[in-house]
Homo-oligomer: A and B are copies of this chain.
Amino acid sequence: MTDSAPSHGFLFDKWLHLYAERVETMRSSEVRDLLAVTARPDIIALAGGSLDIKASNLGKVSDIVADVLTEAGPEALSYGPSEGHLGLRKFLVKFMADEGVDCDVDDIIITQGGQQALELIAKIFINPGDTIVAEAPTYVGALNAFLSYQASIIQVKMDNNGMIMSNMEKTLKDLRDKGIQPKYIYTIPNSQNPGGLSMSLSRRKKLIKLARDYQTLIVEDSAYRRIRFEGEDIPSLKQLDSANVVYIGTFSKILSAGLRVGWVIAPRPIREKLVFAKQAADLCSSSLAQRIVEQFFHETPVNNHINKLITVCRRRRDTMLDALDEFFPKGTTWTKPIGGFFIWVTLPEYIDTTAMLAKAIQQKVAYVPGKAFFADGSGRNCMRLNYSFPKEKDIKEGVRRLAEVIEQEMELYKRLKV
């Protein structure tokens, strides 16, 4: 940039201001290290959010791509419709029917993973200063997307059954009293990121009623629904109230994040705006990637494939829970995920997990500091641990190393206190 650079907009004068603390956190040397080291083989990364691709049956992707290119090479390598490849949307109609959601190909828009769905929804709904209600804690990427459109985010406390509805009701009432109507309530009701817990059916029903009473939409992020280890499948919010719920799905957690294929299902007036926003954003998703997903599930029954992933993830979750029981000191607590990829750990209040990350990395283990999951700087004594990607022996060793780091912090505190 030159000295004569113009006065800038958005990120330069507003977004960056609102975003300052998050940007600082994300750009701090610790978190840069974190991102850099996950690729280093000597560090045990409990910080990711990926499938272990080797553990899923993706060996055949080469053959699948060959099939796709033989059958539809020119189409797979050209622009496709902004709404997405019809064949994949047809597959998704069946996929959603399996989940109890009745929809049509026209109801579905393919996106660049679930993240782009969050971005496009934010783009069409959020004016600067608009309020969004979400879980506390919630998915980092959702916060980033909403904040990038200058949303004000209010997060509602959770327990083992999801957001506490008396808190939700109070939040909505307080907002109404101030003349504020939230644009939508964002929730990950199944195997939530970061804690791996699900919202109970009675709370889902209550949430739906509250959303209608307070005239707001629900945005349901279903990224981890299919990765469920135990308990009954609970109907999605979309199934319970199709007209007032925007549904987001992704193949990142059940097939491959590197293909960047997700989808959104929305009531018509919203869907039409989303298609225009998608067109402006990138014209269309990769035709090749969409056809790879389509062909993969043409050759592999979805449930067979997912059951294999569940088996791997469940074993790794058990390994991590056992290791936490074995190694983590008294005064630390954690969630018992019923699905998904993560465990949410709470340390004593005096520990700052952002500051501690550098020490953890010295001990060759990485995690995501809890602050990232809140818009208001909460969660500083929390951390998210991933068990879907690391091998079982690495999970055990990683948790052991982390326990040592935490114990040192606790020791230090006790000494300073005395």
Contact = CB atoms under 8 A, between A and B. Distances in A.
Given A2-B212, A269-B1, A280-B141, A78 B257 contact: yes
Given A10-B125, A280-B141, A289-B288, A77 B267 contact: no
Interface in A109-155: 111-113, 115-116, 119, 123-127, 130, 141, 144-145, 147-149
A54 interface: yes
Contacts of A61: 69, 73, 77
Interface in A257-309: 257-260, 267-270, 273, 276-277, 279-289, 292
Nearest to A120: B281
Contact of A77 (B76, B116, B258): B258
A69 B144 CA distance: 31
A148 B77 CA distance: 27
A181 interface: yes
Given A116-B282, A127-B14, A8 B183 contact: yes
A331 interface: no
A329 interface: no
Contacts of A144: 276, 279-280
8 contacts: A1-B269, A6-B217, A9-B124, A23-B276, A26-B276, A144-B276, A144-B279, A258-B287
Given A5-B215, A148-B277, 12 more contacts: A1-B243, A5-B269, A10-B127, A11-B277, A66-B66, A115-B283, A141-B280, A144-B279, A147-B280, A259-B286, A259-B288, A281-B281
